[in-house]
Amino acid sequence: MLTIENLHAGYGNSEVLHGVSLKVAAGTVVALIGANGAGKTTTMRAISGMIQPTQGRVLLNGIAVQGNTGAAIAQLGLAHSPEGRKVFGPLSVEDNLLLGAYSRLPALFGFRKHAAAELNRIYELFPRLHERKNQVAGTLSGGEQQMLSIGRALMAQPKVMLLDEPSMGLAPVLVQEVFKIIRQLKAAGITLLLVEQFARSALEVADYVYVMEHGKIVLEGLPSEMNKNERVLAAYLG
């Protein structure tokens, strides 16, 4: 579903990714783990077109998408819930969600009706967002913004979702919720690439795991293998 080959990318003159290759099969959850600064977020940004890779290929459903704009890649069914939430602060919660579905809604009239089913689904997942649907997103607490960011990505009915640190800044009880949601997404057949600080929990939901260090994939395998790997245990599972 999503394949990246020999991806190089960076900021300005400094290269962060030195040839990253990975595969995410349709309907599976793949976890990408590694220390801060290893290049996980940069990998996601290079896939979704937020930054342009300098070398390598990104294949989405067999179509090469590298070099396209973020908007064009999103149209092809890839949604990115970025690290640090990045919600549209001055807009209401509902408007934020509607923007997530922007590319497939009618431009002028009836978009709310068109999106009603999706909206309800999101509100079922996150009742808190329903309570606050008319509140301005910038005044939500950190955790609520995180829910909104995931909800907005889901509105696009993506085939592939990139989730960057979805549990960041959430209370333990909500972290459990997020992992429930990830399981629900998986059950719904959405392909997921997941970056998560709680590596142990990420390994529990994942079908396959890649470990990144210094801009390269250094290890890959099934979660059951990773759970036994001493290097991974020592460095990431604490």
Partner 1 sequence: MGFLAARLRAKFNMWKRFLLIRGTELLIFSLLAALPLLVNSSYALGLLTLLAIYAILLIGLDVSVGYLGQVNLGHAAFLALGAYAAALGVALFDLNLLTALLVSLLVGLILGALLAIPALRLEGPQFALATLSFSALTVITLNELEAWTGGAQGLQINRPPLFNWSLDAVNFYWLCLIFLGLVWVLMRNLLASNWGRAFEALRDSPIASDAMGVGVYHYKIAAFAIGAALGGLAGGLYAFNFQYLQPQSFTYELMVILLLGVVLGGRKNLWGALLGATLIVLLPNLLSNRFTFQMIAAAGLLLTIIAAQQSRPHKQPFQTYAPVLAMALMMAGSLLAENIEDWRKAVFALLLFAVVLGLPDGLIGFITRFLSQLFRIAPPALVAASPLDEVLQSKLTHGEILLKVSNLKCYFGGIKAVDDISFDVHSGHIHGLIGPNGSGKSTAINVISGLYRPTAGALLLHGKALPHGSLYQVARTGIARTFQNLQLFGELSALENVMLALKDTYRCPLPLLLLGFAKREEKRAQADAQALLALVGLTDYARTTAKNIPYGAQRFLEIARALARKPDLLILDEPAAGLAQPDVQRLIAMIKHIHGRGITIILIEHHMDVVSELCDVVTVLDGGKIIAQGTPDEVKRDPQVIEAYLGSAHVDH
Q: Distance between CA 225 and CA 76 in Å, rounded? A: 33
- Pick one of 25, 63, 64, 69: the residue that binds partner 1 (CB under 8 A): 69
Q: Which one of 26, 37, 112, 222 is in contact with partner 1 (CB under 8 A)?
A: 37
236 is a contact residue toward partner 1 (CB under 8 A): yes
Q: Which of 19, 27, 56, 84 binds partner 1 (CB under 8 A)?
A: 84
Q: Which of 12, 62, 90, 110 binds partner 1 (CB under 8 A)?
A: 12
Restricting to residues 132-191, which ones interact with partner 1 according to CB under 8 A? 139-144, 146, 165, 167-176, 179
**Where does this chain touch partner 1 (CB under 8 A) — which range of 23-31, 51-59, 103-111, 185-193?**
51-59
Q: Which stretch binds partner 1 (CB under 8 A): 46-54, 90-98, 113-121, 151-159?
A: 46-54
Which residues in the 109-128 window bind partner 1 by CB under 8 A?
Answer: 128
Smallest gap from Cβ 21 to partner 1, in A, equals 19
Least distance from C-beta 199 to partner 1, angstroms?
A: 6
Q: Which is nearer to partner 1, 105 or 162 (CB)?
A: 162
Nearest distance from C-beta of residue 25 to partner 1, angstroms? 25
**Cα–Cα distance between 61 and 21 in angstroms, integer?**
16
Q: Tell me how many degrees the CA angle 92-101-113 measures, rounded to the nearest 5.
A: 80
Q: Is 11 in the site for partner 1 (CB under 8 A)?
A: yes
User: If DSSP states are collapsed to H, E and C, what string results for the chain?
Assistant: CEEEEEEEEEECCEEEEEEEEEEECCCCEEEEEECCCCCHHHHHHHHHCCCCCCEEEEEECCEECCCCCHHHHHHCCEEEECCCCCCCCCCEHHHHHHHHCHHHCCCCCCHHHHCHHHHHHHHHHCHHHHHCCCCEHHHCCHHHHHHHHHHHHHHCCCCEEEEECCCCCCCHHHHHHHHHHHHHHHHCCCEEEEECCCHHHHHHHCCEEEEEECCEEEEEECHHHHCCCHHHHHHHCC
- Which of 156, 199, 206, 217 lies at the binding interface for partner 1 (CB under 8 A)? 199
d(CA 19, CA 10): 11
Determine the size of the site formed for partner 1 (CB under 8 A).
45
Footprint on this chain of partner 1 (rule: CB under 8 A): 11-12, 14, 33-37, 41, 51-52, 54, 69, 83-85, 128, 139-144, 146, 165, 167-176, 179, 197-201, 235-238
